Chain A
């Protein structure tokens, strides 16, 4: 994710999403990426709001990419909520949120990653180089969405960027490690998907019955560890 001077001190835009929700845009919505320091303040803000969820009457607190959605319960006044967030934002340090470092063992290529070969060819590098670059980065969990436990990871090496598949697969198995655009991710559950599948992990990302249902939480760091390289 690139850092540019302007996006570090952006004009915050607040819009309403229906009668009971506010969407705070801390970076230009048309930017192609989010500076990490902004996202760090955003994590701090959402954890701060989370700690007061009940007293403030908040139904949902959803960090996105450079933005934050807050849905209020019936009795909470949106104007009060807007002022609270805007007043608190400058007080946030932007220093790192204490995320954990999670290591995800991945079997790359072969039957586990049917698109690895084509993806490496598209990037003009060898499979081995592709795997080395993908597993060298420490990614950050920017936000969760799409599916339960699905993490939007920031930090993909620009050499590995590529467009989505022309036609999405009907079935992508749970545990698939995939790439699309400037992002990489792991599919927590079986689903359709248009990303390039380069590997597979046995790590369970989402368990609805666990006390912490999602393995990934916003602010966590993630590293993919090479478990096996298909020849």
Chain B
């Protein structure tokens, strides 16, 4: 068990997401950065889909009531480990490394070194909350899944699943991926409804990231995108990564907690392989869209899946460690 001694806003239990439920209006939820999550789970010998904690703002202080191995990935959160006793020496935690904790020890994550980016805390065995509609992810808007359908609060006690031996090469650790602030995208169904100027602006302009961005979507600021003529669309299914343009002309990249059906023109879709970056794009920075074909998008996705597969094999002890 893990006890939450102190908890800032918006820390939640998430796995890789809830799929196959959008026809009932149920969104995907799940970690915004599936790469960092799988890196952490693989390092622990967990199932890649084991539930982790996603942190957006600190602090988070946890007490472990059993021996456990933990891994931090994503952005550095200035994390320390202590024995839990007053005046005891603290030890800095290293992101991307498996750390063995004894029962009674505490871990404290302060705040992200870059505000507006996310960290992941994985534990051996995973956070063992019940599976609801096929996933352990928290659907915060609708209040189900995860830990009682909500963000964590001080005093919560989280169950941990049964765990196995970490892979042989776990001590080597893993390197986090660095976000590039370039989101590759394919043109969307309503691309041709936008003016030539809008096309130019969409691909060339640095888009400022709004403070109103959330797990629902990345809201962007810049010169507005205009349509050839007003467009009123029948509601249709949308997916994370779809770029919608509401009447104010400022695009929104839909993210994991977005609703399942929308009616705004869709100018583009961010490719699957680049969606993890939505977890790490802080407000007041800029992002660019880069046009690619569907074939390039599919290749990028395959490469990413192969990277995770190779990482799993390397950790298990094949000699291809580099």
- The residues in A between 146 and 160 inclusive whose CB is less than 8 angstroms from any CB of B are 146-150, 152
User: How many residues on chain A are close to B (CB under 8 Å)?
Assistant: 49
Q: How far is the CB of A63 from chain B (nearest CB, A)?
A: 6
B301 touches A145 (CB 8 A): no
Q: Closest CB-CB distance, A150 to chain B, in whole Å?
A: 5
Q: Interface with A: B94-102, B203-211, B226-234, which one?
A: B226-234
In contact, B24 and A18 (Cβ under 8 angstroms):
no
Q: Which residue of A lies closest to B191 (CB)?
A: A15
- Output the least CB separation between A17 and chain B (Å): 6
Q: Are A74 and B305 interface neighbours, CB within 8 A?
A: yes
Q: How far is the CB of B319 from chain A (nearest CB, A)?
A: 28
- How far is B298's CA from A18's CA once the two chains are assembled, in angstroms? 9
Cβ–Cβ contact A60 & B301, under 8 A = no
Which residues on the B side are within 8 Å of A64 (C-beta)?
234-237, 261
Q: Given A15-B189, A19-B298, A53-B20: A145 and B25 within 8 A (CB)? A: yes
A153 to chain B, nearest CB (A): 12
Determine which of A31, A32, A60, A150 lies in contact with B23 in the assembled complex, contact meaning CB atoms within 8 Å.
A60
Q: Does the CB pair B261–A208 fall under 8 Å?
A: no
Interface 9-mer from B141-149, B156-164, B169-177: B141-149
> Known: A17-B266, A19-B271, A30-B231. Contact between A149 and B24, CB under 8 A?
yes
Chain B 258-269: CB-based contact to A (< 8 A → 1; otherwise 0) = 011100001001
Considering residues A29, A50, A74, A148, which has the most beta carbons from chain B within 10 angstroms of its beta carbon?
A148
**Cβ-based interface call for B74 (8 A):** no
Q: Which residue of B lies closest to A205 (CB)?
A: B25
The interface stretch among A20-28, A132-140, A193-201 is A20-28
- B307 cross-chain contacts in A, Cβ below 8 A: none
- Residue pairs across A and B with Cβ atoms less than 8 A apart, 15 shown, are A15-B189, A16-B186, A16-B294, A46-B23, A53-B20, A60-B20, A62-B260, A64-B261, A65-B234, A67-B234, A143-B261, A145-B25, A148-B24, A189-B142, A208-B26
Q: A17-B238, A23-B236, A62-B260 are in contact. List 13 more A-B contacts (CB 8 A).
A: A17-B237, A18-B294, A19-B271, A21-B239, A60-B20, A64-B237, A144-B24, A144-B25, A145-B22, A148-B21, A148-B139, A209-B132, A213-B24
Q: Which residues of B contact A (CB under 8 A)?
A: 19-27, 132-133, 139, 141-145, 186, 188-189, 231-239, 241-242, 259-261, 266, 269-272, 294, 297-298, 301, 305
